[in-house]
Amino acid sequence: MHYDDTGVRCTMLRGGTSRGLFFEACDLPADPAARDDLLLRLMGTPDPRQIDGLGGSTPLTSKVAVVSPSDDPEVDVDYLFLQLGVDQPTVSDKQNCGNVLAGVGPFAVERGLVPAGDGETSVRIRMVNSDSVAVATFPTPGGRVEYRGDVAIAGVPGTAAPVVLGFTDTEGSTTGALLPTGHVRDTVEGIEVTCVDNGMPVVLVLAGSFGLTGHESHEELAADAALLERVDAFRRKAAELMGMGDVATASVPKTVLLSEPRDGGQVCTRSFIPVQPHSSIGVLGAVSVVTGMLLPGAVGHELTAGWPAGTSRVDVEHPTGHLVVDVVVDGSVTPPRVVRSGVVRTARKLFDGTAFPR
């Protein structure tokens, strides 16, 4: 197929605090190399401005969802997430994206892959990257996806309809284990860390260990070249402990700095994706953060001392606001087991049509 001449059917949606290009798998080349080449040209990568493509000059807007009907009778659709580089021609399938996930259910209904319910629809989604399942529930009054609503999420102006995401089987999404190193606490370059993977492999570290308060602005962190270089070296060392090998060109693991909350939340975070600071925090990243903190002996567990007994809903502060996640962990068994995890996001369709590669 000559995509340069015909273009390719594409829908752009905002999912959570990310923005992505959504495709049906049947509309893309079957060969992964040809597919990635097409996606890079559609996105306008490599170019810091992505001026000749549909990207938005940040990792948060250089994302792709490839959706297809699932062969699994217990699942409705398969969702492959691809993270595209901005100034580098990279395409990675090494992680999930919980924000883009928020748009998968509505997209599946819009494209007729899943029938809409009258009032509300739940779509069972297999996240191909980790072979785990999420259920997205969202309003469909009259059998049509409703994007308008009164739910506000930090980092997105205005309000929209809720998309409730419930996760199952996300333990060890990339590494194969909730605690990839086999320990609740490890040491990396003289710094105590907890490595956890409940949908997203992350490395938890107290902000003070990096000489920071943890309340620095996104701009302050982004301008500190020495810090970013240190974060990159640090995460590479942690990745070796996690059995992930050389992650020099990979988007995971993420490093998350923890500190005392200061805006009414229960923990303050500063995360890196994987080297540049995140303007908020990823959905599955936040789920993994809270999962780790709930484990006795983990880095950051001391910050949970003031949390209400038996709490499962945790308010996570980040540079542009708050993200509330729901996590229950059974720490009485070895290894610990995740009972449930979930979050509320929103999504909005931005356009649907034909996209042309450069």
Residues of the chain with pLDDT under 50: none
Whether residue 92 lies inside any domain: the answer is yes
Q: What is the per-residue pLDDT for 64? A: 98
Whether residue 159 lies inside any domain: the answer is yes
Q: What is the per-residue pLDDT for 313? A: 82
Which residues are bridge partners to 349 per DSSP? 13
| pLDDT digit string, tens, across residues 327-350 | 999 988 988 999 989 998 999 999
Report the predicted TM-score, pTM, of the whole model to 2 decimal places. Answer: 0.78
What is the span of the domain harbouring residue 20? 8-170+346-355
Which residue bears the tokens 């009259």?
Answer: 142
CATH number assigned to the domain comprising residue 115: 3.10.310.10
Contacts for 60 with CB less than 8 Å, ≥ 6 apart? 17, 18, 19, 99, 273, 278, 279
Read off the tokens for 142: 């009259």
Whether residue 161 lies inside any domain: the answer is yes
Indicate if 198 and 249 belong to the same structural domain: yes
Indicate if 22 and 161 belong to the same structural domain: yes
Q: What is the per-residue pLDDT for 168? A: 84
Q: Which of 16, 5, 19 is nearest to 161 (CA)?
A: 16
Indicate if 156 and 24 belong to the same structural domain: yes
Q: What is the per-residue pLDDT for 1? A: 59
Indicate if 58 and 113 belong to the same structural domain: yes
Q: What is the per-residue pLDDT for 267? A: 98
Q: Is 45 left (phi over 0), alpha (psi -120 to 50) or beta?
A: beta
Indicate if 160 and 199 belong to the same structural domain: no
Indicate if 117 and 208 belong to the same structural domain: no
Indicate if 310 and 190 belong to the same structural domain: yes
Q: What is the per-residue pLDDT for 312? A: 83
Indicate if 62 and 152 belong to the same structural domain: yes
Indicate if 70 and 144 belong to the same structural domain: yes
Indicate if 216 and 322 belong to the same structural domain: yes
Indicate if 130 and 259 belong to the same structural domain: no
Q: What is the per-residue pLDDT for 66? A: 98
Q: What is the per-residue pLDDT for 311? A: 76
Quickly list H helices, the chain: 3-6, 32-43, 98-110, 218-223, 225-241, 283-293
Whether residue 243 lies inside any domain: the answer is yes
Whether residue 260 lies inside any domain: the answer is yes
Rounded CA gap, 187 and 197, in Å? 17
Do 257 and 205 meet the contact criterion of CB atoms below 8 Å apart? Answer: yes
Whether residue 141 lies inside any domain: the answer is yes
Whether residue 50 lies inside any domain: the answer is yes
Q: What is the per-residue pLDDT for 309? A: 82
Q: What is the per-residue pLDDT for 169? A: 84
Count of the separate structural domains present in the chain: 2
Whether residue 21 lies inside any domain: the answer is yes
Read off the tokens for 34: 């040809």
Indicate if 209 and 146 belong to the same structural domain: no
